[in-house]
């Protein structure tokens, strides 16, 4: 997949009309309001997105609704909308922005080269969060494996799962060192 910068606005993906070649994609009624909430000016927070969506849709949009629409667009980016919102840096980082990107199966396209840093910081933040959860999951399986109430086969199974999670965590940490 390549990353390309263009000067332009949102275009429809081939399946955006809902046909999708048998897919069960259904366009969300607030998708265009979400787009207008983050383009051409990226949003700093989910609250800001909800506020902007409320203005364009002329109805009250909560952060929960805005989050749901973001999830729907992300889940259907390739087969439905042709655009998405990459992961956003966690916390209050200075690179925390919700930016749109056009996507297809071969490339990601954005209209502002300055958005690359937001996408990169969001991806690093996402991987860090995953590493933390993987470490916690590995520890939980190790704890389960030490339970005196388990049979020997179950203990081996839990220890094997913990070892796999530890291995994946190590690979993710190595990847983070290369991109962070």
Burial class (CB in 10 A: 0-12, 13-18, 19+), 77: buried
Average pLDDT of every residue of the chain: 87
Q: Is the pLDDT of residue 20 over 80?
A: no
Residues 33 and 83 in one domain: yes
Q: Do 89 and 135 share a domain, yes or no?
A: no
**Domain with 57 in it: what CATH number?**
1.10.10
Of the three residues 56, 89, 111, the one that is the final residue of a domain is 111
How many angstroms separate the CA atoms of 34 and 47, rounded? 12
Residues 134 and 88 in one domain: no
Average pLDDT over residues 15-19: 41
Taking the whole predicted model, whether its pTM rises above 0.85 is answered as no
% of the chain exceeding 90 in pLDDT: 72
Averaged pLDDT for residues 61-73:
97
Same domain, residue pair 22 and 74: yes
State yes or no: pLDDT of 85 exceeds 70: yes
Over its C-alpha atoms, the chain yields an Rg (Å, rounded) of 20
Name the strand (E) or helix (H) holding 110: strand 107-110
Q: Which of 111, 133, 154 is the last residue of a domain?
A: 111
Q: Is the pLDDT of residue 11 over 70?
A: no
**HSE on the CB side for 5, CA within 13 Å?**
7
DSSP reduced 3-state for 108: strand
Task: Please state the domain count of the chain.
Answer: 2
Tens digits of residue pLDDT in 129-172: 999 999 999 999 999 999 999 999 999 999 999 999 999 999 99
pLDDT at 17: 41
- Which of residues 111, 133, 157 is at a domain's end? 111
The residue segments making up the domain with residue 101 are 2-111
Are β-strands 83-84 and 2-5 bridged in parallel, bridged antiparallel, or unpaired? unpaired
């Amino acid at each position: 997949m390549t990353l390309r910068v263009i000067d332009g606005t949102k275009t429809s993906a081939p399946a955006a009309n809902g046909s999708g070649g048998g897919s069960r994609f259904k366009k969300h009624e607030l998708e265009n309001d979400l787009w207008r909430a983050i383009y051409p000016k990226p949003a700093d927070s989910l609250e800001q997105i909800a506020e902007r969506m409320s203005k364009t849709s002329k109805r009250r949009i909560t952060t929960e609704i805005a989050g749901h629409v973001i999830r729907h667009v992300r889940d259907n980016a390739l087969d439905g909308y042709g655009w998405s919102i990459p992961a956003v840096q966690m916390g209050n980082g200075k690179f925390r922005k919700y930016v749109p990107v056009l996507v297809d199966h071969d490339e990601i396209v954005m209209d502002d080269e300055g958005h690359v840093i937001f996408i990169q910081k969001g991806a690093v933040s996402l991987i860090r969060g995953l590493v933390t959860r993987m470490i916690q999951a590995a520890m939980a399986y190790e704890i389960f494996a030490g339970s005196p109430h388990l049979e020997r086969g179950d203990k081996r199974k839990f220890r094997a799962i913990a070892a796999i999670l530890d291995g994946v965590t190590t690979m993710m940490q190595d990847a983070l060192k290369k991109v962070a």
